[in-house]
Structure 1
Amino acid sequence: MAFAAGRFYCVLLSLLAGLASGLEITSTGPTSIEKASGQSVKLDCQFSLATEDSGPLDIEWSLLSSDNQKEDKVVILYSGDRAYEDYYDPMKGRVHFNSADPKNGDASINVTGLKASDSGTYQCKVKKAPGIRSRKMLLIVMVKPSRPQCYAEGSTQEGKDIVLKCSSKEGTSPLVYSWDKTSDSKILPASAVSDPVTGNINIRNASASASGTYRCTASNRVGTEQCIMNLNVTPPPNVAGTIAGVIIAILLFLLIIAIILFCYCRARRRKKYEKEICNEIREDVPPPKSRVSTARSFTVGSQRSSLGSMSPSNLHEYALKPQYDKIPSTEEYERPPSHAPLPPPTVPKMGGPNLSRMGGIPVMIPAQNKDGSIV
């Protein structure tokens, strides 16, 4: 019984001695690394071999899947004394072994041009029969904050609450924002309240002293970016003057419209009146009687010339002669036939003494025959 126990202890010690002298991973660096996108990183994996590790050397780096249902992705491989560096297409040309001959005990790799998609857990597995060892490392690729945008939201008048905003479109969380004033006293207003998470700063009841140059800094664990803006706090506008100007402008506008309408109505009324005058037919105006007037004027003129050539002694005979050549007047022409024409007035015969008594001047008129010729 004692012999059997001693033999068991000897076998156990030999196994422990074999394990202690076999393949080992000797790297002692951090197992979690944070890097910014675009940078390079070295994933360390140093190992040592024992004399009993006589099999072929195989080194495999793989990106472990976060989902147990998915397969791990082999990134780079060393097998049969040959390196297979372009094994994983997303990292093709960006991942290489750190040593030209990994058999010397250096299975570390270098990854250049890091991307956010490179983040994950990487496993280094070294196999040399009968020994197998592995080491896991967490790589976090963080995106540096992009240049933030600074601007003022809302009104920037005195007495108002002014909100200054700052935000980066890119960057790995958590992002932290901070504000400071770079002009004048370089001290933020006493009423300013900033939020480092949202990047907003609220200046309550802003005064003219809040005007100046402000700087916002966005940062995370891998980098920082800044933006600068100028804030100009303006005095409140003259509301009464603005209202008066608006009212005056409205009145002028209405006056112009009224003048245009008045001119339009007047022109339209005049055009309508001229059109009615042109189309009106007047029935109360009799047609002109040019022939009667001409004949009447001729007869009257002839009578006057005859009377002027007669003597007073012949006036009575002329008055008694029937006036056959007399053209009836308008009244006689238009008089109904029931009315008989009145006899012509008689002219009394006056002698020379009577004419002298009445102030007339006797004129010697040569004697005429019946035909009116001078004798």
Structure 2
Amino acid sequence: MELWTARFCCALLGLVAGLAAGLEITSTGPTSIEKASGQSVKLDCQFSLAPEDSGPLDIEWSLLSSDNQNEDKVVILYSGDRAYEDYYAPMKGRVHFNSADPKNGDASINLTGLKSSDSGTYQCKVKKAPGIRSRKMLLIVMVRPSKPRCYTEGPAQEGKDIVLRCMSSEGTNPLQYSWEKTSDSKLLPASAVLDPVGGTINVRNASASASGTYRCVASNRVGAEECVLYLNVTPPPNTAGIIAGAIIAVLLILIIIAIILFCCWRARHRKKYEKEICNEIREDVPPPKSRVSTARSFTVGSQRSSLGSMSPSNLHEYSLKNQYDKIPSSEEYERPPSHAPLPPPSTARMAGPNLSRMGAIPVMIPAQNRDGSIV
């Protein structure tokens, strides 16, 4: 009984040893790789087969999820003697098998045009029944620093604090900044305080000796970029001169405003004077004709009343004295006195008592002034 037990144990150990001597991953390279964006990388996965591995060969590369609740993403696949290299859309056209025939024991892949999103843990899994083996590799895609921008903060004057700043907009941390002076003594000012992480130099109580050319280098583990800055420390400005110039400028502005206001006032006064002169000329215009018509209507009405009081017997006598009762026309009223027509000559001037004896009726004629108005 013990003999049979020993034989069974030996057979079992041989079987386990046979399985262990089957499919194996033979790659021994580093399991962590750092690369810069835009570069290419080879993820090594070499394997060996044994005669016992008689099943179909399957090779699967996957990007493991950092969250256990999410599924792993298959990047490239080999199955049924066929490679599926466009299996993962974000890496389409950028991932390929290193060997044209992975069955020869080379399951390595090449990634080109690396991006920061390609960073992660990759797993190479080789299956050939009854053996299954896998290998994990960490890929870190780092972005090299972009060209930094150098500039100063604060007035570059003597006695002032000046800050020299260097900043890269892109780059994988940790970024390091270093400053150096490339002109004169090539030594940073004694009062300068350097911050390699923030990329600044604080020059306190700057002097003229701080002037010169400075260079800043931004770097990380995959690359470096630099920029150049020229610093010119100037003497403080003449404050008294600036104040005097400002006062003179203000006075000139006030004088110009006063001249403009004076010109406007003078133009307005002249316009008002011309308007008053026009009004004085209009006062000499002759009176309207409505007054003449009123006087005429009054005289004509009086004449009609006189005619109404006459009898047919004295109409003949009235015709003799119409020349005395004739009312001048409007043209005669408007005509200057120097051009007034002379009365027609009378052959005989008759006195008032004679007219009364002849039966004439006296008529009162309203008095008139020179412009034709009734008094």
User: Could you tell me which residue of structure 1 aligns to residue 36 of structure 2?
Assistant: 36
User: Could you tell me which residue of structure 2 aligns to residue 255 of structure 1?
Assistant: 255
The within-5 A match list for 1:186-335 is: 186-280=186-280
The within-5 A match list for 1:1-375 is: 2-3=2-3, 6-7=6-7, 9-280=9-280
Q: How far is 1:19 from its partner? A: 3.2
Q: How far is 1:280 from its partner? A: 4.3
**Judging changes above 3 Å, is the alpha-carbon distance between structure 1 residues 63 and 279 closer, same or farther for their aligned structure 2 residues?**
same
Q: How far is 1:211 from its partner? A: 1.0
User: Could you tell me which residue of structure 2 aligns to residue 308 of structure 1?
Assistant: none
**Judging changes above 3 Å, is the alpha-carbon distance between structure 1 residues 274 and 78 closer, same or farther for their aligned structure 2 residues?**
closer
- Cα deviation digits, residues 116-172 of structure 1 (max 9, x gap): 111111000011111100000010111111111111122111111111111111111
Please give the alpha-carbon distance, in whole angstroms, between the structure 2 residues aligned to 1:45 and 1:89. Answer: 22
Please give the alpha-carbon distance, in whole angstroms, between the structure 1 residues aligned to 2:17 and 2:270. Answer: 129
Root-mean-square deviation (CA), in Å? 2.2
Structure 2 counterpart SS, 1:268: helix
Structure 2 counterpart SS, 1:42: strand
Please give the alpha-carbon distance, in whole angstroms, between the structure 2 residues aligned to 1:102 and 1:192. Answer: 60
Max Rg structure: 1
**Judging changes above 3 Å, is the alpha-carbon distance between structure 1 residues 274 and 91 closer, same or farther for their aligned structure 2 residues?**
closer
Please give the alpha-carbon distance, in whole angstroms, between the structure 1 residues aligned to 2:274 and 2:76. Answer: 104
Residue type at the aligned position of 1:181 = K
Residue type at the aligned position of 2:177 = Y
Number of corresponding residues: 286
Q: How far is 1:3 from its partner? A: 4.2
Q: How far is 1:235 from its partner? A: 1.1
Q: How far is 1:104 from its partner? A: 1.5
Q: How far is 1:7 from its partner? A: 4.4
Please give the alpha-carbon distance, in whole angstroms, between the structure 1 residues aligned to 2:54 and 2:271. Answer: 122
Please give the alpha-carbon distance, in whole angstroms, between the structure 2 residues aligned to 1:57 and 1:113. Answer: 29
Residue type at the aligned position of 2:85 = E
Please give the alpha-carbon distance, in whole angstroms, between the structure 1 residues aligned to 2:82 and 2:278. Answer: 116
The worse-fitting range, judged by mean Cα deviation, of 2-11 and 119-128 is 2-11
Residue type at the aligned position of 1:113 = G
Please give the alpha-carbon distance, in whole angstroms, between the structure 2 residues aligned to 1:200 and 1:8. Answer: 76
Please give the alpha-carbon distance, in whole angstroms, between the structure 2 residues aligned to 1:230 and 1:157. Answer: 14
- Cα deviation digits, residues 173-213 of structure 1 (max 9, x gap): 11111111111111111111121111111111111111111
Q: How far is 1:4 from its partner? A: 6.3
**Judging changes above 3 Å, is the alpha-carbon distance between structure 1 residues 236 and 3 closer, same or farther for their aligned structure 2 residues?**
same
Identity percentage of aligned residues: 82
User: Could you tell me which residue of structure 2 aligns to residue 313 of structure 1?
Assistant: none
- Cα deviation digits, residues 264-321 of structure 1 (max 9, x gap): 33343344344435534899xxxxxx98xxxxxxxxxxxxxxxxxxxxxxxxxxxxxx
Residue type at the aligned position of 2:53 = D
TM-score normalized with structure 2 length? 0.72
The worse-fitting range, judged by mean Cα deviation, of 51-60 and 127-136 is 51-60
